[in-house]
Amino acid sequence: SLVTIVVEGGKDTIRNMYFDLKHKVPIVIIKGSGRVADFISRWLLSAKDFNDNSDEDKVVYEIDELYTRSATIEVSENRAQTRSKTRTDIHAELYADSSLKKLHQLFKNYKENLEKELKNVLSGDNESHKKKREKSKSKKDDFNEKLPSLLDQVMYCLQPGLRSLITVFDLNSETDLSETIFETICKSFDNLPQNIQEMKAKQTLLDLAIDWNCIDTAKEFIFQNSLKHIPKPDNIFINALKKNSPLFVDEFLKLGFDPADIFFPKNKFTDEEKRYNIFFEKLYAHDLVMRDETHLKHFIESNISTHEKSINDVKSLNKVLWNLIGDYMYKLYFDTEKAEYNDRIKWGLMKSSIKSEETKNKNIKTNKSISNESKKANAHKYIMRDLFLWAILMNYVDMAKVFLCYLKYRICPALIATKILKQYYL
């Protein structure tokens, strides 16, 4: 497992915590949930400063690890003289005293109170538990036999060397639980070998962060103010769009991510037909369009032959916008740059720019670098507009606000958005 969450709990919870920590699995303890969770939380605080040796904080002691001490053994002169040359004398001292265990030495000032409180937590102090213990003496004896082992496991969990794997979440705090759990999961990935981290760890973490909306922790542990730490950023960005995660989309854009690189790769915006193929495939899929959260499906006309509602080309999308905004709405989407240009000429929208367009075409032949920059800038301008309208159509208002901030002209898009949302809620 990636993380263990402790809520209340009993003997089995202590055992599970012990085995999880042995395998470096981080633990989130819910303080305020009762019993073992509260017991461990209290003792993590009470015993946090019992050792001033910073080196001890990095060492993890096993339950049966003994405390070693050096001793000088005097060998008599007669014994040294009579020892055989081929014989090796070995002196060993074996101790069965549990007090000589490393953990017991570490907790020697707290052991008595720790054991007493553990017994109360696990056995209970109410009358119903007392009556049950009176009826079954064998169970009481069995509990007393297991108590030393449980105490060892508790001390193992509380030792300084494992504190970094334990996070306490207070139910009475204003901190978000999902953020706490996600931060703990991030720490668990930090314990993995580097080659494993580079494969799927960060992508898995980002998908989880988007699901839980944990932007702050994701920025600290994953983004780190750079897109170079993000594996397959195109996939992550599209996932954030589909799952309505405006904070993640905004972070991508702030770090310089250009959505045009996804939807219009390699000059697809100007050099190829059906330039919106990827856009429709990714963002106007049937399951997104037909969601209950959006009213878009009520404004899509059914296909004559299949009787299905879908948005899969520029014609169907323009029709939806016409239904929502009105017949005074000009077409916004075209399969090719040439088709768009001809439509603008048809409606008299580009009369004054015909001459400049001819001049521009001459410049394209002589300066390809300027042409490429112009194409890229144009593609970026269009995709930001398209993503804004997509967010409005999907009823992702907060997402639309993010894209609106990146548009050069905002009044017209805002008016269109207002008209669409009014139609949704009439």
pLDDT digits (tens, 9 = 90+) for 324-340: 998 777 888 998 888 88
Residue 264's Cβ-side half-sphere holds a number of Cα atoms within 13 Å equal to 27
Out of 198-212, 232-246, 288-302, pick the least confident: 198-212
């070693």: which residue's tokens?
68
Comparison of pLDDT for 151 and 124, the residue scoring more: 151
90 pLDDT band (50/70/90 cuts)? low
Residue 164 has pLDDT above 60, yes or no: yes
Out of 111-120, 166-175, 196-205, pick the least confident: 196-205
Tell me, rounded to whole angstroms, the distance of Cα 420 from its chain centroid.
33
Residue-level pLDDT at 127 = 42
Residue-level pLDDT at 78 = 53
The encoded tokens of residue 426 equal 């009439």
| Angle ∠(36,40,43) on CA atoms, nearest 5 | 140
Write the CB contacts of 272 (distance below 8 Å, at least 6 apart in sequence).
336
Residue 189 has pLDDT above 80, yes or no: no
Out of 7-16, 77-86, 294-303, 372-381, pick the least confident: 77-86
The encoded tokens of residue 120 equal 């109360």
The encoded tokens of residue 2 equal 């990636």
* Integer-rounded Cα radius of gyration of the chain: 34
Residue-level pLDDT at 360 = 53
| Distance between CA atoms of residues 274 and 272, nearest Å | 7
Residue 347 has pLDDT above 60, yes or no: yes
Quick: pLDDT tens for 295-322.
999 999 888 887 889 999 999 999 999 9
72 pLDDT band (50/70/90 cuts)? very low
Residue 128 has pLDDT above 50, yes or no: no
CA-to-CA separations, 195 to 68, 191, 202, 203, 229, in angstroms, rounded: 37, 12, 12, 14, 14
Comparison of pLDDT for 128 and 378, the residue scoring more: 378
DSSP letter for 193, please. Answer: -
- Whole-number percent of the chain with pLDDT over 90: 41
Q: Give the pLDDT mean for 7-19.
A: 93
Quick: pLDDT tens for 240-274.
999 999 999 999 999 999 999 999 877 666 656 78
Q: Give the pLDDT mean for 368-378.
A: 71
Quick: pLDDT tens for 20-41.
999 888 999 999 999 999 999 9
Of 386, 397, 399, 398, nearest in space to 424 by CA = 397
- Whole-number percent of the chain with pLDDT over 70: 75
Residue 206 has pLDDT above 50, yes or no: yes
Residue-level pLDDT at 67 = 59
